[in-house]
Every structure is written in C-alpha cells, then in structure tokens.
C-alpha cells in the first residue's frame, strides 16, 4: 500500500513539473515574440546607422551631398540633412591641417561620393 502512495505522489509531482515547464516555455515564447515585434516597430521608425567602417546604403546619396563634421574628436560623414550619419571614420580631427580642421568644425560640404572618398583617402593614413 505504501508503494502505491509513493508511486502516486511521484506521478503527481512529475505531472506538476511538466505543467510548470510547459507554462514557462509558453510564457518565454510569448515574451520573445513580443520583443521581436517591438524591435521591428522601432527599426522601421528609426534611421539607419551602420557599424564602424561600413556605409549606409542610400540611393539618393550621390544627389544630396555630404557634410564632414567632428564627432567625439573624429571626422564623421553625415548626409545632406546633417542628422543622418553616413559613415564613421577613424580620422582624428587633430591630425588634419589647421585649415581643414576649421572647415570640419564648421561642417565641410562635399558634393559627390568621389570627392568624399578622395578626402577620406587623403587623410586616413
């Protein structure tokens, strides 16, 4: 008789554990799905910022032009709206000639992608 009670308690404990695990898994999946949906909503409303060394693809970029500005002591390339970052550089502003430092501090305008990369190539090394 004792073994039946022990088996019954063990089976009840096992079933209860399985129900708790299933409930946890369902809750976890629901939270993950909600976070993914929230991240999608945030990304769709946000402007694109690229990782270091990469550029943001913008088909209208060649038409708009760029601004070279200082960001935390380094030259940073912005699109024509001066708020969207096009590319981060590792060019310290202090390494530039004095005249170019002044232009970058004011926001140096560069009209085309060719001019932009010519500037970056000249001062990157």
Per-residue pLDDT, 8: 87
In a domain, residue 79? The reply is yes
**Residue 110: Cβ-neighbour burial (10 angstroms; 0-12, 13-18, 19+):** middle
Per-residue pLDDT, 57: 58
Boundaries of domain holding 22: 1-46
110's tokens: 């560069």
SS3 of 66-98: the string is EEEEEECCEEEEEECCCCCEEEEEEEEHHHCCH
Residue 2, H or E segment: helix 2-45
Per-residue pLDDT, 19: 93
Do 66 and 107 lie in one domain? The reply is yes
Count structural domains, the chain. Answer: 2
Per-residue pLDDT, 14: 94
Do 73 and 117 lie in one domain? The reply is yes
In a domain, residue 15? The reply is yes
In a domain, residue 22? The reply is yes
Model confidence pTM above 0.85: no
Residues 6+ apart with CB under 8 A from 119: 68, 110
Rounded Cα–Cα distance for residues 20 and 110 (Å): 62
Rounded Cα–Cα distance for residues 53 and 18 (Å): 49
Do 82 and 108 lie in one domain? The reply is yes
Do 76 and 110 lie in one domain? The reply is yes
Consecutive 10-residue averages of pLDDT for the chain (125 residues):
82 93 88 79 54 54 76 90 87 90 91 88 81
Per-residue pLDDT, 123: 84
């Amino acid at each position: 008789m004792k073994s039946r009670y022990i088996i019954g308690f063990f089976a009840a404990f096992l079933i209860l554990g399985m129900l708790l695990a299933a409930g946890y898994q369902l809750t976890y999946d629901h939270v993950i799905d909600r976070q993914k949906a929230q991240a999608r909503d945030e990304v769709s409303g946000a402007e694109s910022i690229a990782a270091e060394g990469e550029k943001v693809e913008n088909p209208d970029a060649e038409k708009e032009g760029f601004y070279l500005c200082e960001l935390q002591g380094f030259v940073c390339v912005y699109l024509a709206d001066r708020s969207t970052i096009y590319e981060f550089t590792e060019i310290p502003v202090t390494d530039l000639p004095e005249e170019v430092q002044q232009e970058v501090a004011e926001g140096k305008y560069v009209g085309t992608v060719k001019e932009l990369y010519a500037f970056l190539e000249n001062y990157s090394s």
